[in-house]
């Protein structure tokens, strides 16, 4: 589910200089947004996935050419994300538009009803990305609560107030990056063990798992029953845009496929899938051969959970 989708634009120039006119060497445009990226990767993993959320008619029509979609047409227009990529040294400058404001007062209810109608036929739900103006930050939590009540594993990959409210939903899986983690917990962890300590109040209040993506440091996952850190032996260089979305796709694929979760195996796959996205120049795509080769090389370390009295304090 992507509530604030985007057209992803990439301008390629030799070298970008502020205040100067530039001749663009090439332009790429594709439909985007975090949930769109997750949907693409899931389909590459052999998991039939459908994209939903808000859009306008033109974006929905473009998306239908590539993916199964079921959007609520509530946006007056769809924003753009612009990346200026320099061929000289690979530097990328990104400009993120905020997106249009939803003016339809019934849009949130329509999306909630749309997702509720899908629940009997789906095995997992991912709610990803920012919210457009006019949408209350409680909407992801409300939809997640409905999905979990229907026994559908649900991930919320959101930020700010929406993430804080989602963290109050029992059974939810959260996948914050480093900055989102800091805003959610108020902590600035430097190690995987710090992450384990910082999320104990969330786990105690019913969060099923916190899966913190840490860039080159890999992924740390914490549940009530255990905690693990996973990383490649040597990080790969490339385009990190969409790597977190690829990891989320791997996580929901695993959660939706088994009644009992093998967390070390899940994390190995998530790290390898994320890395397989880094080596591809566009978001929402993975190198499947690379993923297969990397999965058995991921290093997993089991972490200690705090003693009960420590967690309570």
Summarize pLDDT for 111-145 with one digit per residue, the tens. Answer: 999 999 999 999 999 999 999 999 999 999 999 99
d(Cα 269, Cα 248) in Å, to the nearest integer? 10
Task: Pick the more confident residue, 13 or 308.
Answer: 13
pLDDT exceeds 80 at position 192? yes
Higher pLDDT, 53 or 90: 53
CA 295 to chain centre: 20
Across residues 275-295, what is the average pLDDT? 85
Give yes or no for a contact between 275 and 243, defined as CB atoms under 8 angstroms apart: yes
Mean pLDDT over the full length of the chain: 91
pLDDT for 199 equals 96
Could you tell me how many residues make up the chain?
A: 313
pLDDT digit string, tens, across residues 100-111: 999 889 999 999
Among the residue ranges 117-126, 260-269, 276-285, the one predicted with the least confidence is: 276-285
pLDDT of residue 287: 87
Structure confidence at residue 85 (pLDDT):
83
pLDDT-derived band at 310, boundaries 50, 70, 90? low
Q: How confident is the model at residue 28 (pLDDT cuts 50, 70, 90)?
A: confident
Buried-state track 132-146, b at ≥16 Cβ within 10 A, e below 16: bebbebebbbbbbbb
Q: Is the pLDDT of residue 266 over 70?
A: yes
Report CA dihedral (57, 60, 64, 67) to the nearest 10 degrees: 180
The whole-model pTM stands at: 0.90
How far is CA 22 from its chain centroid? 33
Chain segment 140-163, per-residue pLDDT in tens: 999 999 999 999 999 999 999 999
Which residues lie closer than 8 Å to 273 by C-beta, 6 or more apart? 41, 45, 246, 247, 249, 250, 286, 291
DSSP bridge pairs for 11: 27, 84
Q: Can you tell me the mean pLDDT for 252-259?
A: 89
The pLDDT > 90 percentage for the chain reads 74
Residues whose CB falls within 8 Å of the CB of residue 251, separated by 6 or more in sequence, listed in order: 155, 173, 175, 211, 266, 270
**C-alpha to C-alpha distance for 282 and 241, rounded to whole angstroms:** 8
Q: What is the pLDDT of residue 308?
A: 66
């Amino acid at each position: 589910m992507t509530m604030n989708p985007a057209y992803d634009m990439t301008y390629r120039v030799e070298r970008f200089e502020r205040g100067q006119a530039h001749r663009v060497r090439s332009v790429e445009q594709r439909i985007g947004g975090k949930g769109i990226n997750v949907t693409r990767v899931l389909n590459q993993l052999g998991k039939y996935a459908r994209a939903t959320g808000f859009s306008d008619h033109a974006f929905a029509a473009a998306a239908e050419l590539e993916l199964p979609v079921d959007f609520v047409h509530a946006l007056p227009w769809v924003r753009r994300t612009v990346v200026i990529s320099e061929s000289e040294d690979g530097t990328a400058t990104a400009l993120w538009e905020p997106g249009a404001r939803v003016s339809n007062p019934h849009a949130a209810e329509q999306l909630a009803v749309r997702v509720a109608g899908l629940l009997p036929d789906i095995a997992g739900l991912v709610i990803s990305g920012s919210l457009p103006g006019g949408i209350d930050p409680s909407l992801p939590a409300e939809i997640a609560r409905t999905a979990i009540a229907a026994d559908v594993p649900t991930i919320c990959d959101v930020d700010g107030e929406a993430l804080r409210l989602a963290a109050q939903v029992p059974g939810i899986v959260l996948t914050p990056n480093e900055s989102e983690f800091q805003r959610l917990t108020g902590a600035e962890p430097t190690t995987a063990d710090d992450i384990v300590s910082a999320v104990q109040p969330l786990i105690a209040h019913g969060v099923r798992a916190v899966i913190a993506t840490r860039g080159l440091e890999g992924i740390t996952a914490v549940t009530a029953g255990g905690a693990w850190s996973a990383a490649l032996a040597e990080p790969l260089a490339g385009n990190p845009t969409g790597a977190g979305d690829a990891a989320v796709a791997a996580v929901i694929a695993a959660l939706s496929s088994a009644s009992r979760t093998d967390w070390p195996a899940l994390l190995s796959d998530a790290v390898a899938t994320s890395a397989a996205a880094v080596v591809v120049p566009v978001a929402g795509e993975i190198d499947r051969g690379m993923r297969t080769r990397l999965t058995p090389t991921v290093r997993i370390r089991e972490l200690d959970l705090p003693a009960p009295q420590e967690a309570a304090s």
